[in-house]
Amino acid sequence: MDAVEAIPQPATDNVMIQVKIPPAGYYEDGMDLDISTINMSGYSLDVVAVSPEMIVTWYVGDDIEYRQTDNNNIDIIETVTGGEHLARRVHTNSYSDEADYQFYIKNHLGSTMTMVDQYGRRSGPVYDYYPYGKQVEEEVTTDAPVTPTFTGKELDLFENDFASGEDGEGWYYFGARFLDPDIGIWMSADPEEEFWNLYRYTINPISHIDLLGLTDIDIVINRTNENNARTLGGMSVTNSGDANQLNLFTLELPDRNNQNNISRINDGEYRAQNWNSNRFGQVVRLDDANGRDAVLIHTGNTTDDTHGCILVGSGQTDNTVTQSRNAMNQLRQYINNIINADQQAGEQTNITITVNPVQQDDDN
């Protein structure tokens, strides 16, 4: 009612304003519109009930959709996948040789921006997104709606479910749980309980994604002791689908304002990836360490071996880590097992590194 009363007074007389009221299911039950108190001086107000087209979708596996509208039109949509949605073929009413081929245009997060046909012409709406996935349709069209949108996931729209009488929630479904794009958090707790905040979506939604609502590999470094020559710590490595935990030791340089080669990295959370180094072989590389590049987790025993990176070992002394090659081989095997399993499932492996503050400082 407040929105209707806020309609500005037209500049001329004899102007009719239509207020379109969607059918039940779009607003809370029992909502009434009382126009008797609206000042009608100089213009008239017409309330029109709108009955939009209802779309029901049936899913056959992960790659076929049947969409039926309330006028009994049926679209059969075949989706081509390769780790993510790449293209789709749309048939009308039945399978036929004549089908529309459409290809997804995506951004760096895998979010759908629009569709193009086999001739390179746009064939779908143009989308943009707020950081946590709330959609901004840049150009409204009559083209068939796109199912995979933010990071390739489907949005459950605010539409009435006529079969059950319940409303859609406007959430994205990630497989393990739902994400609310309006408030930017998961709608249920992390079943693996990996972070202190069990409802956090990801480190940075501008540059990071969470494909399933689970963190694939989580590397946590707890810095335990620091002096003016080195920083000691412990490392735990866990996987969202495995209860086993790998525990190692770490050695870093002391804090020298995050300078390249002479300082350890800052506390915080980082995205990382598996990487092949010409010098160290397979390592873990941080994507962006506060402006520093080529920060690695690799082998070494003393601070002379670090060059601003993170050394791992199976043992630790006051100033070194020991059995570094053995520790690195364990870390490689742990990561490779998960990557191989994800590749077989057609999924991408996410690696998150959390570096916690030093627990104790030494004066010497």
Residue 134: strand, helix, or coil: coil
What is residue 126's predicted lDDT score, i.e. its pLDDT? 84
In whole angstroms, what separates CA 216 from the centre of its chain? 13
Q: How many CB atoms lie within 10 A of CB 91?
A: 17
**CA pair distance 225, 197, nearest whole angstrom:** 26
The strands making up 100-106's β-sheet, listed across from edge to edge, are: 55-60, 64-69, 74-81, 85-92, 100-106, 112-117
Q: Work out the angle at residue 288's Cα, subtended by the Cα atoms of residues 254 and 275, and round it to the nearest 5 degrees.
A: 95
3-state helix, strand, coil in the chain (%, to 5): 10, 40, 50
Digitized pLDDT (tens) for each residue of the chain, 364 residues in all? 444 444 444 444 444 444 444 443 333 333 444 445 445 455 455 544 444 455 667 666 666 776 766 566 667 777 765 445 667 777 666 555 566 778 888 888 888 888 888 888 887 788 889 898 888 766 656 566 677 888 888 877 655 443 333 444 678 888 778 899 888 888 888 765 655 677 878 767 876 667 666 557 889 999 999 999 999 999 999 875 455 789 999 999 999 999 999 999 998 888 899 999 999 999 999 987 877 878 999 999 999 999 999 999 999 999 999 999 999 999 999 999 888 877 776 667 788 898 989 987 665 5
Q: How many CB atoms lie within 10 A of CB 101?
A: 16
| 65, 85, 146 from 174: Cα distances, Å | 18, 14, 16
What is residue 73's predicted lDDT score, i.e. its pLDDT? 67
φ, ψ for residue 329, nearest 5 deg = -65, -40
| 63, 82, 102, 246 from 85: Cα distances, Å | 9, 7, 11, 34
Q: Helices (H), strands (E): how many in the chain?
A: 2, 26
Q: How many CB atoms lie within 10 A of CB 212?
A: 18
**CA pair distance 333, 127, nearest whole angstrom:** 41
CB-CB contact of 235 with 306 (8 Å): no
What is residue 48's predicted lDDT score, i.e. its pLDDT? 46
Cβ-based burial of 278 (10 A; exposed 0-12, middle 13-18, buried ≥19): exposed
Of 232, 233, 255, 235, give the one whose Cα is nearest residue 245. Answer: 235
Virtual CA dihedral for 293, 220, 362, 252, nearest 10 degrees? -30
What is residue 280's predicted lDDT score, i.e. its pLDDT? 93
- For residue 314, the 8-state DSSP code is S
Query: What would the two tokens of residue 168 be?
Result: 């859609």
**CA pair distance 352, 273, nearest whole angstrom:** 9
CB-CB contact of 226 with 255 (8 Å): yes
What is residue 319's predicted lDDT score, i.e. its pLDDT? 95
Residue type, 167: D
**CA pair distance 104, 115, nearest whole angstrom:** 5
Query: What would the two tokens of residue 295 be?
Result: 């920060």
CB-CB contact of 253 with 303 (8 Å): yes
**CA pair distance 325, 313, nearest whole angstrom:** 7
Alpha helix (H) residue ranges in the chain = 2-5, 324-344
Of 194, 241, 242, 249, give the one whose Cα is nearest residue 218. Answer: 194
Of 240, 197, 213, give the one whose Cα is nearest residue 151. Answer: 213
| 203, 238, 252 from 309: Cα distances, Å | 21, 21, 7
